[in-house]
Amino acid sequence: MLIIYTGNGKGKTSACVGQTLRALGQGLVVAFGQFMKRNGLAGEQNLLAQLLTDRFMALGAGFYKDPQEFAIHRDKAQQLLSWAGAQLESGLDMLVLDEALYALGHGFITREELQSIIDSCGQKSCHLVLSGRGAPDWLVLEADIVSDITEVRHIYNQGGQARPGIEF
């Protein structure tokens, strides 16, 4: 299955982590990769690294703010794609690629590169979970499940700050 968590609301990564825990609880072999996010910054990374060991990889340069850093972000994304391909060769039941749609939207990965991962997962009977804002129409049409997480209210809009264990 191809599962997508998209939208402008908080909870896409949380949904990916929950999907991972559900799959692990059923005995599935899962790998979880994070585009964009630097390792060691988010709470889920600590737990996923313990649970998945070398089947967890956070290989990002942070969120994209400066166009002069495009090459750095593209290189990190390419490294994560290579890691994901190697994980698929090791025999997975589920591959989770958090923030893949963010990477796609900024051109750090191409449609063709993502389609190659989708096709490989299909050939290997491996479920693929993708997250990030702005799922393109072609991907939504290809997916089996798409959840659009909508922001109704967020503390940022009232001047609040990110809190450990909530936003990261």
More confident residue, 108 or 164: 108
Angle between helices 43-52 and 12-25 (to 10 degrees): 20
Given a cut of 80, is residue 24 above it in pLDDT? yes
Q: What is the CATH number of domain 2-148?
A: 3.40.50.300
In whole angstroms, give the CA distance from residue 121 to residue 126: 5
pLDDT of 93 = 98
* Residues with Cβ within 8 Å of residue 116, at least 6 apart in sequence: none
pLDDT of 91 = 94
pLDDT of 158 = 81
pLDDT of 112 = 98
Domain residue limits, the chain: 2-148
What predicted TM-score, i.e. pTM, was given to this entire model?
Answer: 0.93
